[in-house]
Amino acid sequence: MKIPYPVPVKRTEDTPKWLPVVTSVGAVLLAFIISALILAATGADPFKVFSYMYKASFGSWGALSDVIVKATPLMLIGLGCSLAFRMRLWNIGAEGQFFVGAFMAAAVVMVPLVDLETTPAWVIISLMAVLGMLGGALYAFIAGVLKAKLNINEIIITLMLNYIAVLWNNYWIFGKWSEAGFQMTKTFPKVAWLPRLADFAKQVPAFSGITLHVGILFGLISAVIVYLIIYRSKWGYKITLIGDNRRAARYAGINITANTILVFMISGALAGLAGMTEVSGVVHRLQERISTSYGFSGVIVAWLAKLHPFAVIVVSILFGALLVASREIQPSGISFLIQGITLFLVISSDVLLKYQIKWVRPAKESAQ
């Protein structure tokens, strides 16, 4: 029997608006199904595992707060990546920008840049946030300039810069800022902590032990700003135009060099801010393992959200839940397995947006 020819896919001309949503949700569901099969194959009961994972992440206010805390850096990094990816700048360096942001924020306390005794907390925290963003932005600037001026592959550059940033941090936490020889700095004084709900336990007893900090507000505000940039501003139009056709943008008189550098820096600033929220809001010190590869998960978040800033919020919370659940189940790799399968399927599902599968009956003569 002959294989039907031509190939049974056809390019679709019109993509209905609901289709991307359906394929994304479908891809996530399929990822869970495949993970369930793998779990079943290893002898576990997938339903038990999933219900346990659900309980671990959404089962209580405390768990939910943990999820949002984990989602905060993912959200900020995802937003930065969304902006850069819209211009087809593949910034894979969020991890490094995150670490430099964390380092700069820590420097405020560790150097110290201000008098920690007398300066009001809001000034210290603002300074940490601004320096965190600046650090991330400047770090991304390196890749941006190389890309814009010399057209050096930004994927390679940003990827390599990640290692440099991690090692740079290590230098400080192993050496100069080391706390009694441990690979971490001393705990920051309270004035350098982002306010948490737990801080208000005296007024509202229910908040006791809730670790949710104001970093999530940074994430939400950033999402709104990124939304306004992309969908409402002239600059967003330029970014979209450059992303769709660089040569057309150049022809239209848009300065591609400047915009490349600028977008890189904003993307880096958001990752830097994520680093700041992590040291100031969660661990309260600079240490080796402040990131569970947020920088890379953020890339996945941006893709899953199809680069839409509001979808980034939803997806980062979903990923935060997976991260929290991974602490509770053994082996903890299951969550990452689901993450990986999800990304794989979401990216593959794009094919369904561009092509229709349609079996074409072979022409008569081939049947003879």
Partner 1 sequence: MTFYEETNTVPAVEMQDIVLRFPGVLANDHVNFTLYPGEIHALLGENGAGKSTLMNALMGLYRPESGEIRIHGERVSFNSPRDAIAAGIGMVHQHFMLVENQTVTENILIGLDLPRFALNLKKYDQEISSLAEQFGIHIDPTARIWQLSVGEQQRVEILKILYRGADILIMDEPTAVLAPQEADELIATLKGMAAQGKSIAFISHKLNEVKQVADKLTVLRRGRVTAERINLQGFTRESLASLMVGREVIFNLHKSEQTAGREVMRLEDISALNNKNLPALRNVNLDLHEGEILGIAGVAGNGQSELVEVITGLRPCSGRIWLEGKDIANKPPSFSINQGLAHIPEDRIGVGSAPNLSLTSNIIMKRYDQQPVSKKWQLNYLAADKLAGGLKTEYDIQAPDVHTQARKLSGGNLQKLILARELSSTPRLVVAMQPTRGLDVGAIENVQQLLLNQRTQGCAILLVSEDLDELLSLSDRIAVMYEGRIVGILDSRDFDITQIGLMMTGTLPQRLPGTANPEETTCEGSSSNPDDILEDHSHYQEPAQPEPTQVEESLSVNEEPIQESLLSELPNLPEEPPLNLTEKERVLRKVLGEKYKQGDQE
Give residues in contact with partner 1 (CB under 8 A).
5-6, 10-13, 232-238, 240-241, 244-255, 363-366
Minimal distance, residue 10 CB to partner 1, in Å: 6
Residue 244, phi-psi category: left (phi > 0), alpha (psi -120 to 50), beta (remainder): alpha
What is the C-alpha separation between 141 and 133, in angstroms, rounded?
12
Minimal distance, residue 244 CB to partner 1, in Å: 4
Minimal distance, residue 27 CB to partner 1, in Å: 22
Residue 56's SS3 state is helix
104/230 with CB nearer partner 1: 230
240/287 with CB nearer partner 1: 240
Residues 6+ apart with CB under 8 A from 327: 56
Residue 178, phi-psi category: left (phi > 0), alpha (psi -120 to 50), beta (remainder): beta
Helices 121-150, 154-174: axis angle to 10 degrees equals: 140
Minimal distance, residue 236 CB to partner 1, in Å: 7
Q: How many residues can be counted in the chain?
A: 368
43/253 with CB nearer partner 1: 253
What is the C-alpha separation between 289 and 249, in angstroms, rounded?
42
Minimal distance, residue 188 CB to partner 1, in Å: 37
Query: Is the CB of residue 132 less than 8 Å from the CB of residue 105?
Result: yes
What is the C-alpha separation between 252 and 238, in angstroms, rounded?
10
Query: Is the CB of residue 239 less than 8 Å from the CB of residue 263?
Result: yes
Cα distances from 335 to residues 51, 215, 330, in angstroms, run: 13, 24, 10
What is the C-alpha separation between 79 and 352, in angstroms, rounded?
25
214/256 with CB nearer partner 1: 256
Minimal distance, residue 253 CB to partner 1, in Å: 3
29/363 with CB nearer partner 1: 363
Residue written as token pair 């603002």? 126
59/236 with CB nearer partner 1: 236
Query: Is the CB of residue 277 less than 8 Å from the CB of residue 69?
Result: no
What is the C-alpha separation between 131 and 134, in angstroms, rounded?
5
Cα R_g (the chain), whole angstroms: 23
Minimal distance, residue 12 CB to partner 1, in Å: 7
242/271 with CB nearer partner 1: 242
What is the C-alpha separation between 80 and 256, in angstroms, rounded?
18
283/353 with CB nearer partner 1: 353
Minimal distance, residue 155 CB to partner 1, in Å: 16
